[in-house]
Chains A and B, each alone.
Chain A
Amino acid sequence: NAGVMQNPRHLVRRRGQEARLRCSPMKGHSHVYWYRQLPEEGLKFMVYLQKENIIDESGMPKERFSAEFPKEGPSILRIQQVVRGDSAAYFCASSPSTLEQYFGPGTRLTVT
């Protein structure tokens, strides 16, 4: 099992562009979580998805951010019209249930 995969590992976007972050969960895991880590802070929960469903998006900013986990393919975290404050490390975790979460290596987003 290759573990949780995230790509790209590093992403540079200019202000106003769109950022798409991908997360492939571990085989057999149907639960995906997204977390954001700003500089000097801990990881903060953003959204929890199961296949084709958003279960909890209480940590997602209300504008510009969206997430999906389609029936086929990876989970996508999409940030529209990025701003400098979106620069952060974005981590994805997957789980076979509501228990232990396995983390991906993260995507470091830099907005210039």
Chain B
Amino acid sequence: AQRVTQPEKLLSVFKGAPVELKCNYSYSGSPELFWYVQYSRQRLQLLLRHISRESIKGFTADLNKGETSFHLKKPFAQEEDSAMYYCALSINTGTASKLTFGTGTRLQVTL
């Protein structure tokens, strides 16, 4: 069965410091991986997906199939990055595309 692990419940960094939010997955097939973000009092929204290989709000994530990881990185944290971040794995069966989420990591950026 597929599984997504985010080992850190809380990550606290200073403004301007680098950020790495860890995500590991287990899935026997070819995964599609996503990072979702939830800012305070807002709905869950897609931050980025691995197949698009783009940088959103300065964040990047590279899929490492050898290590089964999809860590989210940003070189310089900003206060507005403080939020809950969820890594998710999509399994597309052709008829459905359900997401399996990790438990989330709260990123706290302090001055």
Contact = CB atoms under 8 A, between A and B. Distances in A.
Contacts, number: 56
A48 B98 contact: yes
Interface in B61-110: 86, 92-104
Nearest to A48: B96
Interface stretch (A22-30, A39-47, A61-69): A39-47
Interface residues of A, number: 26
Interface in A31-85: 33, 35, 40-45, 48, 55-56, 59
B83 to A, nearest CB: 14
Nearest to B9: A40
- Category for how many chain B residues contact A: 20 to 34
B56 interface: no
Nearest to A43: B101
A23 to B, nearest CB: 12
Contact of A106 (B43, B94, B97, B99): B43
A44 B101 contact: yes
A103 interface: yes
Given A48-B96, A99-B97, 12 more contacts: A3-B43, A41-B103, A42-B101, A44-B101, A45-B100, A98-B94, A100-B46, A100-B49, A101-B97, A103-B36, A103-B43, A106-B43
22 contacts: A4-B43, A33-B98, A33-B99, A40-B103, A41-B103, A42-B4, A42-B101, A42-B102, A42-B103, A43-B101, A45-B98, A45-B99, A48-B97, A56-B95, A98-B92, A98-B94, A98-B96, A100-B46, A100-B49, A101-B46, A101-B97, A106-B43
